[in-house]
Chains A and B, each alone.
Chain A
Amino acid sequence: MKSSSVATLTIIDTASHHLFQCEGDWTLYSLSLVATSLDSFTPTKPLQWDITLINKFDSSGVALWSLYSRKYAQQGFVSEIIGKKEEHLRLYRLLYPHPNEDTLPPKQHNWVYRIGREMHHWIQGVDRFLDFLGEAFVVFLDSLFHPSTIRYRAISYHIITAGFDALPIIAVSSFLIGVVVAFQSIVQLQKFGADILIVDMIGISLSRELAPLITAIVIAGRSASAFTAQIGAMKMTQEIDAMKTMGFHPYLFLVWPRVIALMLVLPLLIFFADIIGIFGGMIIASTQSHLSYTEFINRLQGALPIRHFIIGIAKGPFFALLIALVGTYRGFQVSLNTESIGLFTTKSVVNAIFLVIACDALFSILLTKLKL
């Protein structure tokens, strides 16, 4: 194919016509030069295309001829062909069975329309989420009256995959957070000779705010995406439809086991993150400020009232509820095309992280006002 001879076009001006002498292979890979020269040519007389010397041609050759003879015809100069054969005509008739018509791309709307449309979509989205929540809760209440329909095995499976399997990443993240907080604050505290306050700093900030938040964000990234992808894949293979036709409510089978598992496991993960994070801070305190582990722990018992710890842990189920509901809801939104699974997985993670942070802010304001 690459060895083919290049298409050429020689323009000869006769008294009455422009004569296009066409030679070579008028095929896809060899036509670009001819196309550029035709593009820059402006006719002043009628045209004759001599195609006797063309040895190979394909649909691009025919398209090129048709495109430019139409263009020149619009400028008022007709084209005629010399030396056409039956094979040329056959291909032409296949490619141009009826007159060519241009189609316009769909009309672009102005910005006011687009803002309005996005807003409308957003409101519809909220509406659908409320719809989902409502139905899910009805299903949940119903299952409370029929405890045998609760999917205990599924719950334990998700406790393992969403909880236990997340321990390593949570350990690393919370350890690093503990280290960073200790490092940054110890420099400041040393200026006042108040090194010992590092214990209060780490104890309270980690157990009340940072450990719950970091854990929830890691789980949002890890599990919200997994839930969306799992349910989305089931939606695409019509497994969800199959469940419905068999009378298994998908929310009962797919949503609540994930929600319940995550609500049970997230407080435990936060507790785990508290321990590792404070341990990280303790190491930095001992290396940077010669505060021994025993001193640190003694101080911690006095400096960290139990309520901070409890508030941190108590946020867990709320975060878990948001993450799991958003993750599963987005999964059910996946439609039959392959693109949507990626789209909704991204949306689910972004939404889950945002909701976790918003919820944490709400807690922070509320609890401070309540003087807790």
Chain B
Amino acid sequence: MNPIVIEAHNIVTMFGDNLIHDSISCTIHENEIYALLGGSGSGKSTLLREMIMLQTPKSGSIHIFGKDIANLSLSEAQNLRQQWGVLFQSGALYSSLTVGENIALLYKEYTELPPNLIRELVKLKIDVVGLPPHSIHLYPSQLSGGMVKRAALARALALDPKLLFLDEPTSGLDPLGSRQFDALIKQLRDLLGLTVVMVTHDLDTIHNIVDRFALLGEKKVLAQGSLDEVLAVDHPIIDYFFQKEAHGIQG
């Protein structure tokens, strides 16, 4: 198996008196597409937010590339942030900037590349995610939902990250668009050697592209592994997720 990229260990998260994660652990290996799955309110987005340092767990540790993200110096944290890309659920494109400027911003801030090369790179990223060339000049408010996701993915890929976090990448897309997006992510993983961590509800995504996943429920990780491994575990929530939702309600 490939080396471990992310390791979450005994994470406990509380919002006030409300326990979200009761000592959960998971490991994510290099070059795999890993999904966090669970019903709404199961804390899967919260776990993702903890991995990308938007929230801190009450206890437990998260190691990314072998470093404990709770004990990073400012420059180490900054360094780490440049090695990952994050796609937010609603895109979170900066609404005052065009798509091209949204992507170019990262190059302007973090590299010393000349403007013509930045322009070239922005065009490439837009092309890679399958946006039409003229969208470089459009503002986020002028894009459709699917285009916003693609533009946000292009921005997440700007710095050639090793690690890609996706928060519900296919939510709000039509079924065809969702499958295309899945294929795009798989292609990028294969070609760029990315490690992809995603939060998703989409069972088709799980069937099609996800290598391993963790199913969160009852504040715990109910099962972790490939689809076959998880299906072998006997638990009512797993049955609920995979039998009834995937194959229509039986009985």
Binding site for B on A (CB under 8 A): 1-2, 27-29, 31-32, 35-36, 39, 58-60, 63-64, 66-67, 90-91, 94-97, 100-101, 103, 105-106, 335-340
Which residue in A59, A96, A336, A337 is a CB contact (below 8 Å) of B121? A59
Contacts of A338 in B (CB 8 A): 95
Contacts of A60 in B (CB 8 A): 111, 113, 117, 121, 160
B82 within 8 A of A: yes
B55 within 8 A of A: no
Selecting from B42-50, B135-143, B201-209, the interface stretch reads B135-143
Given contacts A59-B121, A60-B117, whether A32 and B111 have CB atoms under 8 Å apart is: yes
Contact indicator A28/B111 (Cβ below 8 Å): yes
Closest to A32 in B: B112
Contact indicator B117/A64 (Cβ below 8 Å): yes
Contacts of B137 in A (CB 8 A): 103, 105-106
Contact indicator B159/A90 (Cβ below 8 Å): no
B247 within 8 A of A: no
- Can you list the 10 inter-chain pairs with the closest CB atoms, starting with the nearest? A32-B112, A337-B141, A58-B160, A103-B133, A339-B95, A63-B120, A67-B120, A94-B191, A95-B124, A35-B114
Interface size class of B (residues with CB under 8 A): 20 to 34
Closest to A103 in B: B133
Contacts of A90 in B (CB 8 A): 191
Q: How far is the CB of A235 from the nearest CB of chain B, in Å?
A: 14
**Interchain CA distance A249-B213 in the complex, whole Å:** 47
Contact indicator A2/B79 (Cβ below 8 Å): yes
**Prevailing SS type, chain B contact patch:** helix
Contacts of A27 in B (CB 8 A): 160
Q: How far is the CB of A295 from the nearest CB of chain B, in Å?
A: 60
Contacts of B192 in A (CB 8 A): 91, 94
Question: What total count of A-B pairs have CB within 8 Å?
Answer: 78
Contact indicator A337/B117 (Cβ below 8 Å): no
Contact indicator A67/B117 (Cβ below 8 Å): yes
Q: How far is the CB of B65 from the nearest CB of chain A, in Å?
A: 11
B211 within 8 A of A: no
**Interchain CA distance A90-B187 in the complex, whole Å:** 11
**Interchain CA distance A228-B17 in the complex, whole Å:** 35
Binding site for A on B (CB under 8 A): 79, 82-83, 95-96, 107, 110-114, 116-117, 120-121, 123-125, 127-128, 133-134, 136-137, 140-141, 159-160, 187-188, 191-192
Contact indicator A63/B124 (Cβ below 8 Å): yes
Q: How far is the CB of B180 from the nearest CB of chain A, in Å?
A: 15
Contact indicator B127/A97 (Cβ below 8 Å): yes
Contacts of A1 in B (CB 8 A): 79, 82-83
**Prevailing SS type, chain A contact patch:** helix
Contact indicator B191/A35 (Cβ below 8 Å): no
Contacts of A29 in B (CB 8 A): 110-111
Contacts of A35 in B (CB 8 A): 113-114, 117
Q: How far is the CB of A24 from the nearest CB of chain B, in Å?
A: 15
**Interchain CA distance A90-B134 in the complex, whole Å:** 26
Q: How far is the CB of A330 from the nearest CB of chain B, in Å?
A: 18
Contacts of B188 in A (CB 8 A): 94
Query: What are 19 of the A-B contact pairs (CB < 8 Å)?
Result: A28-B113, A31-B111, A32-B113, A32-B114, A59-B124, A60-B121, A63-B117, A67-B120, A91-B192, A95-B128, A96-B127, A103-B134, A103-B136, A103-B137, A105-B137, A336-B141, A337-B95, A338-B95, A339-B96
Contact indicator B114/A36 (Cβ below 8 Å): yes
Closest to B132 in A: A103
**Interchain CA distance A95-B187 in the complex, whole Å:** 12
Contacts of A96 in B (CB 8 A): 124, 127
Closest to B139 in A: A337
Contacts of B113 in A (CB 8 A): 28, 31-32, 35, 60
Contacts of B116 in A (CB 8 A): 39, 67
**Interchain CA distance A180-B24 in the complex, whole Å:** 65
Given contacts A60-B117, A63-B124, A337-B95, whether A91 and B111 have CB atoms under 8 Å apart is: no
Q: Known pairs A39-B114, A60-B117, A340-B141; list 19 more (Cβ under 8 Å).
A: A2-B79, A28-B107, A28-B110, A28-B111, A28-B113, A35-B113, A39-B116, A59-B125, A63-B120, A94-B128, A94-B187, A95-B124, A95-B128, A97-B127, A100-B123, A103-B133, A103-B136, A105-B137, A339-B96
Q: Of B111, B136, B188, which is in contact with the most chain A CB atoms at under 10 Å from its CB?
A: B111
**Interchain CA distance A267-B157 in the complex, whole Å:** 58
**Interchain CA distance A67-B125 in the complex, whole Å:** 14
Q: How far is the CB of B149 from the nearest CB of chain A, in Å?
A: 16
Q: How far is the CB of A256 from the nearest CB of chain B, in Å?
A: 30
Contacts of A2 in B (CB 8 A): 79
Contacts of B125 in A (CB 8 A): 59
Closest to B112 in A: A32
Closest to A67 in B: B120
Q: How far is the CB of B150 from the nearest CB of chain A, in Å?
A: 15
Contacts of A337 in B (CB 8 A): 95, 140-141
Contacts of B124 in A (CB 8 A): 59, 63, 95-96
Q: How far is the CB of B136 from the nearest CB of chain A, in Å?
A: 6
Contact indicator A339/B111 (Cβ below 8 Å): no
Contacts of A336 in B (CB 8 A): 141
